[in-house]
Amino acid sequence: MLTKIKNIFIVLLLVLVITQFLRPEKNEGSYDSIASFEEATGVSAEVKTILQNNCYDCHSNTTRYPWYMQVSPVSHWMAYHIEEGKEHFSVSEWEFYTDKQKDRKLEELIEEVEGKEMPLQSYTWIHGELPNQDAEKLMSWAKELREKQKEVKKDTLDPKEPNTAETDSLSTDDSAQ
Ligand code: HEC
């Protein structure tokens, strides 16, 4: 019995040692894409810090890698979550989202943070919880941004001075031919 346990233990240890060499590719893009998201959304320094500390690791092209994230199996587990997280929502892709998608992402963000679904629980075990007051700040930023984006959209859909000059000159050209 004892040798059996010992054998299992040795196999597990071997697996652990071998997987250390199977390093998943790191998510280490430049901060530029995040910076344009931050500029476009007008995050305050405070909200920026909250996002950096709790969300960007899985929702941008730039993950921070403290030593424990580089050790298997944590490294593999993290790589999987980064891939999945980015697929659902990536601030690095923000400029490519349509207005509708942006609004939907912000809506989801509010829902996820409110329901304490985000950050992922397995992540907060290691990194610590998102404090309630930070969650509140994040949600009010997202709510304000949704309102702002709605106003911008209204303005572009409903211009105060419709520009008819261009179509007029086009039709004159047509009749001249
Ligand atoms: C450890 C990685 C990780 C961290 C950290 C993390 N997320 Fe996520 N997030 C995911 C994964 C994986 C998904 C997709 C699966 C799911 O919804 O559970 C996701 C999904 C989402 C979605 C999209 C939900 C949908 O319905 O498509 C939003 C929005 C989101 N996260 C916001 C956040 C915010 C805001 C933070 C920080 C407060 C955060 N996440 C932190 C991994 C993470």
Q: What is the pLDDT of residues 122-176, one digit of tens each?
A: 899 888 899 999 999 999 999 999 999 888 777 776 666 555 555 554 544 444 4
Task: Work out how many domains the chain is built from and give that number.
Answer: 1
Is pLDDT above 70 for 15?
yes
Residue 176 resides in a domain:
no
Residue 125 resides in a domain:
yes
Is pLDDT above 60 for 177?
no
Which DSSP letter does residue 23 get? Answer: P
Cα–ligand 1 centroid distance for 76 (angstroms): 17
Residues with CB under 6 A from ligand 1: 54-55, 57-59, 81, 84-85, 88-89, 105, 108-109, 112-113, 118-120, 123, 130
Residue 41 resides in a domain:
yes
Please report, rounded to a whole number, the percentage of residues in the chain having pLDDT higher than 70.
Answer: 88
Residue 170 resides in a domain:
no
pLDDT in tens, 44-70: 999 999 999 999 999 999 999 999 889
Q: Domain range holding 104?
A: 24-155
Residue 90 resides in a domain:
yes
- Separation CA 31–CA 21 (nearest Å): 28
Q: What is the pLDDT of residue 176?
A: 45
Cα–ligand 1 centroid distance for 61 (angstroms): 14
Residue 36 resides in a domain:
yes
Q: How many other C-beta atoms lie within 10 A of the C-beta of residue 40? A: 13
Q: Is 85 in a helix, a strand, or coil? A: helix
Q: What is the pLDDT of residue 141?
A: 97
Residue 161 resides in a domain:
no
Percentage helix, strand, coil, to 5, in the chain? 75, 0, 25
Cα–ligand 1 centroid distance for 23 (angstroms): 23
Residue 1 resides in a domain:
no
